[in-house]
Amino acid sequence: MRLAIGCEIDYEIADSATLIFNVEPMSGGRQRILNERVVVTPPFVTQQYTADETGNRFRRLTATGGALKLRYDAQIELDPVRADPAVIEEIPVAQLPPETLAFLNPSRYCPSDLLARFAAREFGEIEPGFGRVTEICNWIRAEVDYLAGSSDTTTTAADTFATRAGVCRDFAHLGITFCRALGIPARFVSCYAWQLQPQDFHAVFEAYLGDRWYLFDATRMAALDGLVRIGSGRDAADTAFATLFGNVRSGGVRVWADALDGDAAEPWTVDAVSVSELS
Amino acid sequence: MRLAIGCEIDYEIADSATLIFNVEPMSGGRQRILNERVVVTPPFVTQQYTADETGNRFRRLTATGGALKLRYDAQIELDPVRADPAVIEEIPVAQLPPETLAFLNPSRYCPSDLLARFAAREFGEIEPGFGRVTEICNWIRAEVDYLAGSSDTTTTAADTFATRAGVCRDFAHLGITFCRALGIPARFVSCYAWQLQPQDFHAVFEAYLGDRWYLFDATRMAALDGLVRIGSGRDAADTAFATLFGNVRSGGVRVWADALDGDAAEPWTVDAVSVSELS
Amino acid sequence: MRLAIGCEIDYEIADSATLIFNVEPMSGGRQRILNERVVVTPPFVTQQYTADETGNRFRRLTATGGALKLRYDAQIELDPVRADPAVIEEIPVAQLPPETLAFLNPSRYCPSDLLARFAAREFGEIEPGFGRVTEICNWIRAEVDYLAGSSDTTTTAADTFATRAGVCRDFAHLGITFCRALGIPARFVSCYAWQLQPQDFHAVFEAYLGDRWYLFDATRMAALDGLVRIGSGRDAADTAFATLFGNVRSGGVRVWADALDGDAAEPWTVDAVSVSELS
Amino acid sequence: MRLAIGCEIDYEIADSATLIFNVEPMSGGRQRILNERVVVTPPFVTQQYTADETGNRFRRLTATGGALKLRYDAQIELDPVRADPAVIEEIPVAQLPPETLAFLNPSRYCPSDLLARFAAREFGEIEPGFGRVTEICNWIRAEVDYLAGSSDTTTTAADTFATRAGVCRDFAHLGITFCRALGIPARFVSCYAWQLQPQDFHAVFEAYLGDRWYLFDATRMAALDGLVRIGSGRDAADTAFATLFGNVRSGGVRVWADALDGDAAEPWTVDAVSVSELS
């Protein structure tokens, strides 16, 4: 499907500040950027670079005092790999591609070491495979309340596990944490999400199964094949849409993701979906 | 039943230190102290006092350098209130005796505020009453591994909830935490426990139900009517068998609790059991 | 001095709820209640009780659905004990009154066990006495930013120690924590505070020194001899101005504390100040 | 200088387990491996791979039940870049090489978000440059006790900051945390350390300054130019000497690092030292 996605972000800079944005989607064969445009106002020079490891596309700029606005617009064509969940297997640690192994390690918001015993108790007896990660998502959706304002930027998956409330970021962190505890590489993914209500940046996760990274959304708030993948990393710490250095006050954020005419994801696909070609 | 209980505790004092012991059982009509003896070696003067609020019996002494041994021996007669669990009700907050209300508050090791949502989800639909606290104990025994060495003196019930491993102290803290989250006053109880294997100080908890404080042991490692209650408090912070001020090295601790001839608790009573007459 | 203090608190009750208020000041010879009035609208029956241990005055009521307002008005005469800080000593643990010892224990928001090493390093070499607690307050005011919104109801003194930001509640928790770690009994005190800007319930702490509980305010936002003491306890968990059981939505809170004509505390007394006669 | 380094590690495997080792030093022009030998007993097949991002050299094997021993021996020639600390500058975020930016993010054991305010207060006014990171190390050595057994595998830098005790791993985590909070990329480094007492794997950290990654050791337990660098990563989670999957019991670990005849580091160099050529 094809989508028109974008965002508009406002800041007030006190004197001078450096900002690093990660709002431009990953670019690859399964997620083609048909066209895109970044407008920074005032027109500060920006530097763009793409991280080897993840394909994340960053844009860095240094702004002087006053208002700053970044607007990003793109048209995206999604052509995800679709597969039958029933035939996708977990890969034993002994055979995992080396570049996936770091995604077994605990990270700032995904302390898989702390929740290992619970993960083994709750999910250890479930048949390994794609279906086990689906069960993890089912568990999260059943046991954790989606509650705006219930968490903040310091909230870890262990906090969410205790308090049983969170937002999309927390749902993703908890899913990642359980996967890693079971020996399944998992990583955080920020995205634009078609039909998300209300519109905002969304957070999901990917687990490495079979021979690729598959998308999972424990919130079930958006169809997997309507997700435009932005950045991936160990957790939210690696994929902030903006990282601010200096005295910066955040203004509003507006996000959109609209299907282009005549195009639509199949509603709530039950396929396994993957757009990542990079490891 | 009648028991011979006691303990022997060794320390090495560097120069001068103050120690506060709470190893002498609560004294009351339901738990009568037939005779008792405290021997401190060398024979430092000790000061004994009983806390109004809890009935805890403390002994304080200041020791100079060298070896210090405290030995406590007592014979105890237990005559607990026994009641049919099926008829013991929870008391609405509106009717709880005022002196029980502080035991609804979170404490150092029982952060009931953090686990409130889980407690409501997991236990909120269970019929209120003694049986609900029994269900809490069943849940803890089923979901948490009793594992020596898995926790330390800083471990909270939220930690235990995440890691799913602990010892008697942690099991009691978790039970207390869930009760408080549900509006049931609960407090920590240290005790001597008949037939505990291996012998040591034991930790259980009391919940205020009906018109008194009933004993619960989520570990199920000792019969409730074979417990000799020492101290009670908000949590383990209030009921340490010894609190040390100064440069003190702990030596060994030896604890015993033997039935006197011909006397025995009924094995693993299913009655509700209470020995507390103080609020 | 004489003050007119009071508060007005609004709630919206979904169906039925029990509320326990602790807004009525402690009553004693050093803090006399000249007159007072509680108005609950609608006029639900309330039950008042005073906790033996602390002198805290609680008011409990059960409300049915709809709006609920509690208004409290009082005139208070303060006649605190004033003493010269230079002559007030710390009491060795060996001589502390037994009823103060529980205030050496860590509590929900004051994990003095975790910060013991820092307290010994930073304050251990300071001459014991009132002045050492003053140094603790100086340290807190210098090293922690007073920042509205930087903490929430789950924030502990260890959190505040790490993040270096908090509000009056957090300043008090940190002061209490350091005192306990040094062997000085300390407890949390909620109060009305003359000249506090902006007006609200205030939180300070008491340390047991010499022969009584002295007031300390690490925020330095109000004069000690203009404080009307409400409740005291282990920490904020024991002294909430309102504890809510049931489906209750909080509306606004309005607090006042005005000097009566011609009366005024000496501005920013440097005396040691105590109003507590209860242990 | 040239060193003979190595280790011998024993396990007892219950049935079948996969182990991933990272004990083989990084290989580069500044740290040349003259010869090396890995012996696994029994001789299970191992797979070696080098991580692109870090140069970490991993060895993975799957063992069946029974005893397992891995022994690694190597001779290493160190030829570090040495520079005058006084002329090494911090790089503004606006100019940092893109591949260093992920090392500004918080990680499992380095929650730089939590300690940002303290870092700014304590180190924010120090002149930027190599000397500021030296000051961070001085602070850690002065304010934290090196105390074996005071931490465990779940200890974060925020924990160490509160408790003020730790081991080399914790000292490194705290140094990394402060650097990141100040906008200096920093990463964890495991190593063999000449003259370390007692011998063991050691942990230090690297900060990106000037145009390369410089080594820092807040413990001051070994000379920087006698370190043989093994692995680097976000924190200890990325650089475990062994990661175990399956039912494995750890036996002993023996580590050595000896200067070859006639060779010696200058004792406790005051130069800035770097051996990393990879970003």
- Interface predicted TM-score of the whole assembly (ipTM), two decimals: 0.95
Predicted pLDDT at A279: 47
Predicted pLDDT at A39: 97
* Chain B hits for C104, Cβ within 8 Å: 243
Q: Which of A107, A169, A235 to mutate to test the interface with D (most CBs of D within 10 A)?
A: A107
The whole-number average pLDDT for the span C62-79 is: 96
* Chain D hits for C114, Cβ within 8 Å: 162-163
Three-class SS state of A52: coil
Q: Which residue among D114, D158, D164 places its CB closest to the CB of C121?
A: D164
- Residue D260 in contact with residue D4, Cβ under 8 Å? yes
Which residues of chain A approach chain B closer than 8 Å at the C-beta?
114-115, 117-118, 121, 143, 145, 158, 161-165
Question: With a cut of 70, which residues of chain A have pLDDT below it?
Answer: 263-267, 278-279
Min Cα–Cα distance to chain A from B178, Å:
12
Q: Which residue among D121, D164, D165 places its CB closest to the CB of C164?
A: D121
Where are the extended beta strands (E) located within chain B?
2-24, 31-41, 46-50, 57-78, 81-83, 145-146, 165-166, 186-193, 202-209, 212-216, 227-233, 242-259, 272-274
Question: Nearest-CA residue of chain C relative to B180?
Answer: C245
Q: Which of A22, A39, A69 is nearest to A252 (CA)?
A: A69
Backbone angles phi, psi at B94, to 5 degrees: -65, -25
| CA C218 – CA C171 distance, rounded (Å) | 6
Q: B98 and C51: CB-CB below 8 Å?
A: yes
Question: With a cut of 50, which residues of chain B have pLDDT below it?
Answer: 279
* Chain A hits for D53, Cβ within 8 Å: 52-53
Pairing of strands C145-146, A57-78: unpaired
Q: D238 and A108: CB-CB below 8 Å?
A: no
Tokens representing B157 are 């019930």
Min Cα–Cα distance to chain D from A17, Å:
9
Backbone angles phi, psi at B35, to 5 degrees: -165, 160
Q: Which residue among D143, D162, D165 places its CB closest to the CB of C161?
A: D162
Tokens representing C44 are 């639900």
Q: Which of B191, B253, B254 is nearest to B219 (CA)?
A: B191
Q: A163 and B117: CB-CB below 8 Å?
A: yes
Residue D49 has pLDDT above 70, yes or no: yes
Pairing of strands B165-166, B145-146: parallel
- Residue B113 in contact with residue C244, Cβ under 8 Å? no
Predicted pLDDT at C263: 66
Averaged pLDDT score across all residues of chain D: 95
Predicted pLDDT at C269: 86
Predicted pLDDT at C261: 74
Work out the percent of chain C whose per-residue pLDDT is above 70. Answer: 97
Q: Is A276 exposed, middle or buried (0-12, 13-18, 19+ CB in 10 A)?
A: buried
Residue B98 falls in which region: left (phi positive, over 0), alpha (psi -120 to 50) or beta: alpha
Q: How many C-beta neighbours within 10 Å does residue A108 have?
A: 28
Predicted pLDDT at C279: 47
Alpha-carbon torsion angle B197, B198, B200, B205, nearest 10: -40
* Chain B hits for C20, Cβ within 8 Å: 93, 101
The whole-number average pLDDT for the span D88-105 is: 96
What's the pLDDT tens digit per position in D132-190? Answer: 999 999 999 999 999 999 999 999 999 999 999 999 999 999 999 999 999 999 999 99
Q: C117 and D164: CB-CB below 8 Å?
A: yes
* Chain C hits for D117, Cβ within 8 Å: 145, 163-165
Angle between helices A168-181 and A116-123 (to 10 degrees): 80
DSSP letters, B55-116, are --EEEEEEEEEEEEEEEEEEEEEE--EEE-GGG-----GGGS-GGGGGGGS-BTTB-TTTTH
| CA D107 – CA A237 distance, rounded (Å) | 8
HSE toward the beta carbon, residue B221, CA cutoff 13 A = 21
Q: Which residue among B20, B113, B245 places its CB closest to the CB of C153?
A: B113
Q: pTM value? A: 0.95
Q: B121 and A115: CB-CB below 8 Å?
A: no
| CA A238 – CA A228 distance, rounded (Å) | 17
Q: Which of B13, B52, B93 to mutate to test the interface with C (most CBs of C within 10 A)?
A: B93
Q: D107 and A51: CB-CB below 8 Å?
A: no
- Residue A261 in contact with residue A221, Cβ under 8 Å? no
Q: Which of A59, A105, A110 to mutate to test the interface with D (most CBs of D within 10 A)?
A: A105
| CA A80 – CA A206 distance, rounded (Å) | 14
DSSP class of residue C234 equals: S
Q: Which residue among C118, C145, C162 places its CB closest to the CB of D158?
A: C162
Q: Which residue among D58, D101, D111 places its CB closest to the CB of A108?
A: D111
Angle between helices D116-123 and D168-181 (to 10 degrees): 80
What's the pLDDT tens digit per position in C254-278? Answer: 999 999 976 666 668 889 999 997 5
Q: Which of B46, B107, B153, B235 to mutate to test the interface with C (most CBs of C within 10 A)?
A: B107
Q: D162 and C162: CB-CB below 8 Å?
A: yes
Predicted pLDDT at D277: 79
**Residues β-bridged to residue A207:** A186, A214
Tokens representing C91 are 């009491």
Domains belonging to chain A, first-starting first, are 2-78+242-259 (2.60.40.2250), 82-239 (3.10.620.30)
Predicted pLDDT at D54: 87
What's the pLDDT tens digit per position in D19-48? Answer: 999 999 999 889 999 999 999 999 999 999
Averaged pLDDT score across all residues of chain C: 95
Q: How many C-beta neighbours within 10 Å does residue D254 have?
A: 12
Predicted pLDDT at D279: 47
* Chain C hits for D142, Cβ within 8 Å: none
Q: D245 and A108: CB-CB below 8 Å?
A: no
Q: Which residue among A58, A233, A234 places its CB closest to the CB of D98?
A: A58
